[in-house]
Structure 1
């Protein structure tokens, strides 16, 4: 049986990040090139549905790729975000979610890999949205370690092909584990919305 990961802290943290975003933040840039806050929020809403479906092995739904989102958000997007993230967390509490094949983002994946990708999406995009809106961000060492193992598994060829992550960014030897993870995803850990 593959190891189950607890997605609850990351899902709760993401919901808190969403609830602290206001209308003044929605057009701010994020560390994801070409994706302002509103588009990244839309992506989070979509990936929450997609990875919940992947946990339930709802392959008809999970066959669709979660889009980066659009400029239009539903008026109740913060409440909807918490609702979807709660459903995501509950779905991945089922041991059956972690075994056997599933589908997410248009890709066939083993269940335990899909769960790890879901965790990575929550942790990294949580950081993206927090820094874009001027909030501090911290996650557990366990989450960082699990996501780092996943990020390290992405080859240079996959990065160069424009896959999930861009080329890794160099960091100082004294960088925190979170900064090392963020750099492995192709983001500058010192990124700020004003470019400083």
Structure 2
């Protein structure tokens, strides 16, 4: 079990620094800040359902399908709603049962212990995306960094190419002596030096 709380709280901290103009680019190709926020809104709910193993008929909420988040779909109440969703997500994964057995999120079924790492990966990477897109600093706790580095390094192996398609972009080579967080970004297909001007 890994605590998703620190990563979730970091996104909540970032929300105060997000301005009213949500049209700017993010490190996620094709995603504006608004679309990224829509994706975070959806994943927070979906992975909480996965942790609780909530039956499909009880999963209430309008969630964009994976890869289909848009600015137009973003709930205008995101500033009020998202902190609660992120807190609930972290709380759901603190339950031992969340990490046991099989669970399903967005049509993908896997062991709970693996799904929990995928959830952490989503929160950490998209937290960094949001920070970079809005000109803010981003801090990742050591335990989350270690877990996400191991996950992204595993997905970057040549025999995992099919599985990472649609999840991460092409691996970006980062020096082996670079900070661990920079290396996990590279494995996830992200440039640690990304700035909004690069996407202009």
Q: Which structure would you say has the larger RCO, counting Cα contacts within 8 Å and 6 or more residues apart?
A: 2
Q: Does 1:136 align with 2:156?
A: no
The CA deviation at 1:173 is 3.9
Q: Does 1:156 align with 2:158?
A: yes
Task: Select the residue among 17, 27, 50 that pairs with 2:23.
Answer: 27
CA contact 2:10–2:139 (8 Å) conserved in 1: no
The CA deviation at 1:86 is 1.1
The CA deviation at 1:163 is 3.0
- In 1, Cα distance between the equivalents of 2:33 and 2:137? 16
Judged with a 3 Å threshold, the aligned counterparts in structure 2 of structure 1 residues 135 and 159 are, in CA distance, closer, same or farther, namely farther
CA contact 1:65–1:104 (8 Å) conserved in 2: no
CA contact 1:159–1:167 (8 Å) conserved in 2: no
Q: Does 1:89 align with 2:87?
A: no
Task: Select the residue among 39, 43, 52 that pairs with 2:39.
Answer: 43
Structure 2 unmatched ranges of 5 or more: none
- In 2, Cα distance between the equivalents of 1:95 and 1:51? 15
The CA deviation at 1:69 is 1.6
Q: TM-score, normalised by structure 2?
A: 0.88
Q: TM-score, normalised by structure 1?
A: 0.90
Q: Does 1:147 align with 2:144?
A: no
The CA deviation at 1:171 is 1.5
Structure 1 unmatched ranges of 5 or more: none
**CA deviation string 1:86-137 (max 9, x = no partner):** 1111111111001000001211110011110010001010001101111111
Which residue in the other structure is 2:70 paired with?
70
Which residue in the other structure is 1:171 paired with?
174
- In 1, Cα distance between the equivalents of 2:76 and 2:43? 18
